[in-house]
Chain A
C-alpha cells in the first residue's frame, strides 16, 4: 500500500556533528518530496523539497538526497545545533493535480550539548 516510512524513530547526535535522517517511500510514481520539521506544540515547518528530476538539493545547512532506484530519501543536517531538536517528517506527493501528501512516521532528532 501507499506508505512513507523512516528507518529510525529516534536519532541522537552530539552538537556540532552532522545528522542524517532517512526515509523510504513506496510509490515509484511520486514525483515530489518534502522534508518538514515539527517542534513541540507547533505545526510542521517546511525545510526543503526536491523533485524527481533531481537527485540532490542543498539549502542552508541542509541537503536532501533522492535515490529513485531504491526509493530512498535522506535529509542531511550539517553542524547540528540544539535548535535542530525536533521531529522530522518526509512526505511524498502522489499527484501533481491534487497536492495529496503522504507523510512518514517521523524521526525524533535529539541534539546533545
Chain B
C-alpha cells in the first residue's frame, strides 16, 4: 500500500538510449511532481502536473518529457540519455487547492546510471 511508487528503482543504461520512469500515487492527490537529486544531494524540481495539466516546467532539456495519463500517474520519458543525466529522480504528489499549500509526499526514487 505504498503511497507514491516509482519503477524501476534502478536503471542502468547506455548513453544515447531512451528510457522511461513510471510513477503512481494512491493518495488521491491532484498534483504530481518530478525532482532530480544530484550526487551532492541537491534536490531540484523539474516538472509538476495538476489534474493532467502541466503547471511547472523548469529549465530542463527538452529531451525530458513528462506524461500524465491520469491524475494518479506521472511518467518521465528521457530521450538520448547523456552522462549528466545520471542522478536519482524522485516523484512526489500533493493535494493543492484554494491556495493552501500541503506537504509533498515523495517516492523512494529511481537511481539512473548512464554508462
Measured CB to CB, the residues of A under 8 A from B are 31-32, 34, 36, 38, 41-46, 49, 51, 87, 89, 93, 96-103, 105-106
Contact = CB atoms under 8 A, between A and B. Distances in A.
B56 A98 contact: yes
B90 A98 contact: no
A100 B45 contact: yes
B31 to A, nearest CB: 6
A41 B44 CA distance: 17
Interface string B93-115: 01010011101111111000000
Given A49-B103, A93-B101, A96-B99, A103 B43 contact: yes
Contacts of A106: 41-42
Given A97-B99, A99-B96, A43 B109 contact: yes
